[in-house]
Amino acid sequence: MRSTKTAVVAIALTVSATRGGAQTVRGAVVDRGGAPVPGVVVQVLDSTAEVARALTNDRGAFRVAAPRAGTYRLRAMRIGYRPVTTEPVSLRLGEEITKQLILSNVLVALDTIRVTDKSSCRGFTDSAAATFAVWEQVRTALAATQLTAAAKAIAATTVAFERSLDQNGRRVLKQSTTVSADYVKQPWRTISPELLRRDGYVVTTKDNVTNYYAPGLDMLLSAGFVEDHCFRLTNDRNRLGIGFEPTPDRRKTPEIRGTMWLDRKSAELRSLEYRYANIPPEQADEARGEMEFSRLANGAWAITKWTIRMPVLENRVTSQAFGGGGGLRLTGIELTGGELALVRVGSDTVWSRPALVMSGIIVDSASKKPVDAAEIDLSGTGLRATSDNRGRFQISNILPGEYTAAVHTRSLDSISTAYQTPVTFVDPDTPIEVRVPTASQLESTICGGKQLPAPGVVLGTATVVGDTALTHSVSVVAEWNEPGVTDSPGRRIETRADSHGLFRLCGVPLNTTLAIRASSSGATSSGVTAKITPPNHFLRVALVVDRNAPVATLAASEDKPGQKKAVTLDSVVVREKAVDPRLREYEDNRRLGLGQFFTRADLEKRSSSQIDDILQDLRGVVLIRGAQANAYLATKRQVNFCPAKDTECMIRHRIVWVPGNGFNTHPGAALACYAQIWLDNQLMNPEHPAEPFDLRGLNPSAMESVEYYDGVTNTPSRYSRQGSECGVLVIHTRRS
C-alpha cells in the first residue's frame, strides 16, 4: 500500500494580548551613545525563567507585560553583543513603569571560538561555555523572528510551491506555485512542542498517511528542545555551526538532528538544516528540511526561504512463490517550500530577494505563431521589453509576484489599443507564454463574427442632454459617398445605442470621410466628420444629443441628381436576435479570452458549492469575509497608476472603498478595491468607488454563466465603467 505524506503550509503564530490592567514595562533600548537600537529582544525574567518578551521597533521602543505582580529583571539581547540584565524591578498589580536600557558594547567574538569534540547534553554546563554563547545568539535570532511574526505588522510577498519528483529526485512530475501577499509569518504548519515531544516529528495515522513535522519556532525556543538534544560546535568556512542530535533516551521517538549556522563576524543566524532521525532508513535517507533567516532593514527578523523534502514509500510484499518477504520501496519524492520575494512596512521596503530575469514568448492567440516586435510593459514598474523575431522577450531586475502586463503589437496598434493580461512570475527557469489577440479577432468579437463589406468600425457613446431616459431610443447613423465617384448615391449604416449609450457601427469603409450623428425623439446631435486612415481600423467618437435641435433628414429621392440616397445595409445593421444576446456576447468574450469564465457545465459540476467558494478559483482576486459570513470580492492586483498597497494613493484617486462610508451597511468589510458586480445586465454596486457587494446569497445552481475581467483594458465596453480598475464580475442567471 502506498504511503502518502503531508507537509506544512502556513498558519500564523499567535501572541497573547496585554489585558487591561496588566502590569507592564515600556521604554527604549539605546546604545552607549544614546542612539535607539531596533531588533533587540527584551525579556522579562522571574527568579527561574523567562515569563515574557518583546522586540524593539525601529525607534528602539518596546512594551512588555508581566503575567502577574512581582519582582523581575529585564534582559536586553542584541545579536552580536553580550546581553545586559537590569537590577530587580518591582511591578505592582496593574502598574506601568518606564525603563531605558543601555546596551553593552562588548562584542561576542565568534571568530575566536575554537571548535572541540566536546558535546553538551540536557543543558549547558560551565564546561560548554562556548557552546552556550553560540546558542544564546541563536535563541536571540529565533525569538526576534517569532516576535516579528506575532506582531503581524510587516507585509510580505511570498512565493510557495509544491513539487512531485520521481524516485531519483531529478525529474519534476508535477508542480504548482502560488504567490500571495500576507503578513510575515512562520510559513509552515506544525504542532505544539508538547505533542512533538510525545509523538515525535514523523507520525503515521491509522489511514496510513505519514506527516512530517518541521520544528516550529516555539519548539526551537523551548526548554524541552534543549533537554531532548545534545549540542556541539562545528566549522564550515566563514560559518560557525551549532549541531544538535537527539539524546540516547529519545531513540524510540522520531526526532530531528541538524545544524544551525551563524555568520562568524556578525553572529547572525543564517540557516537551519535538519534531517529526521530514529525512523526507517528508507525514510531517513530522503526526509529533510532547511530554512534561511534574514535580518530586515528595520531590525526585525524573518524566515526568508524554506524547503521540506518527503519520501513517498510503497510497502512491497513478494509472493511466497518467489521466496516471500518484502519491504519499503521509494517511489517518489514530494517537496514543499517557498521564499519571500519582498517585505514592506507601509510603503518602505525592508527586505527583498535578489532580482531575477523573466523570460517568455508572445504568440498569436489564434495561430499560436510567435509575434515579433511586440512590446510588453509590466504596469506600474517601469519594466518593459520588446519581443524578437521568434516572439521571445526578457525582462531583468524583476521580483517574483503577480503583475499586470500591457502588450502592444503592430496589429493592435492599428486599432489604437493594447492587450492587458495578468502575469504571475515565480521561476526564472520557466518561460511565460503570453497569448494576444489580433485586431481582426477583436473586430470579429465586437461585430459578432459577421462577414462585413468593409473593415472599418466606429465605436462610441451617445448621450442625451438633460434626459438620460432618451438613451434607450437613440439612433446613430454614419453616411458617406463612394470615394472618387461624385454622382454615386450616398451610403448609410444605422444602429441604436444600448441602455448605457454605447454603440458600434461595423462595416464602414477606410480612407473615406464619414458623417456621423445621433438622433432621438425630435432631438439631434451635432454631426461629426472623420476618416479612418489605415493601418487603423477603428474610430472612437462621442455624440451628445441636443433636444432643442431638429432632426436632420436626408432626401431619398432617386430623380434628383446630386442628392443622397438612403441605403440601409441590412447585413451590418446591429439588431437584437431571437437568441439570448447575453449568451452570444458571453461566447464572443470567451473565444477572445480576455477574461476568466465559468460555463453552465462548469457550475453544474460544483452545484453543491457556494458562489464565494467557486470565485476563489479566479486569479488576481481576494474574497474578504465580513462580520456576518459576508463574502465581498476585491482585486489584489496593482491598480492603475497607484503602487501596490498604496492606499493613500487609491483613496486620493477614489479607487478604493473605505470602511465607514457605507454607514456600516457592509459589516466587516475592509478598506479594499472592490469589484463591480453585474447581475443580469444590472450593475449592483454603481457607486464610485464601488461598495462591497455581498455574494453570499447567490446560488450557483441558478446561474447560466459567470465571467470576470480584471481591469479596464480587458473589460468589454458593455460593462466598462469608471471604477472597473478593481475588476468586473458578470453573472447571468438561467431563464429556462
Distance CA 685, CA 695 (A): 12
pLDDT of 323 strictly over 60:
no
Q: How high is the pLDDT of residue 730?
A: 92
Residue 606 has pLDDT above 80, yes or no: no
Mean pLDDT score of the chain, rounded to an integer?
A: 80
C-alpha dihedral over 542, 545, 546, 551, to 10 degrees?
130
- For domain 581-733, the question of CATH label 3.40.50.720 is answered with no
In this structure, the number of other CB atoms found within 10 A of the CB of residue 46 comes to 15
Provide the 3-class DSSP secondary structure of residue 229.
strand
State residue 13's pLDDT score. Answer: 24
pLDDT number for residue 241: 92
Asked if residues 522 and 597 have their Cβ atoms less than 8 Å apart, the reply is: no
Q: How confident is the model at residue 67 (pLDDT cuts 50, 70, 90)?
A: very high
Which set of grid coordinates corresponds to residue 330? 521509494
- pLDDT-derived band of residue 14, with 50, 70 and 90 as boundaries? very low
**Higher per-residue pLDDT: 565 or 530:** 530
CATH fold for the domain made of 447-546: Immunoglobulin-like (2.60.40)
Q: Please determine, for residue 566, whether its predicted confidence score (pLDDT) is greater than 80.
A: no
327 vs 254, 314, 322, 331, CA distance in Å? 19, 8, 14, 13
At residue 553 the predicted structure's pLDDT band, cuts being 50, 70 and 90, is very low
Q: What percent of the chain has pLDDT over 70?
A: 83
C-alpha to C-alpha distance for 644 and 342, rounded to whole angstroms: 12
Cell numbers for 427: 521561476
Does the pLDDT of residue 11 top 80, yes or no?
Answer: no
Banded pLDDT at 438 (limits 50, 70, 90):
confident
pTM of the model: 0.57
Q: What is the pLDDT of residue 319?
A: 52
Percentage above 90 pLDDT, the chain = 33
Q: What is the pLDDT of residues 684-701, one digit of tens each?
A: 888 878 888 888 777 788
* Residue 487 scores a pLDDT above 70: no
- If one compares 577 and 599, the residue with the highest pLDDT of the two is 599
pLDDT band at 102 (very low <50, low <70, confident <90, very high): very high
**In the chain, which segments carry CATH 2.170.130.10?**
581-733
CATH entry 2.60.40.1120 includes domain 355-440: yes
Q: Where in the chain is the domain with CATH 2.60.40.1120?
A: 355-440, 447-546
Helix or strand holding residue 159 (H, E): strand 155-165
pLDDT band of 570, cuts 50, 70, 90: very low
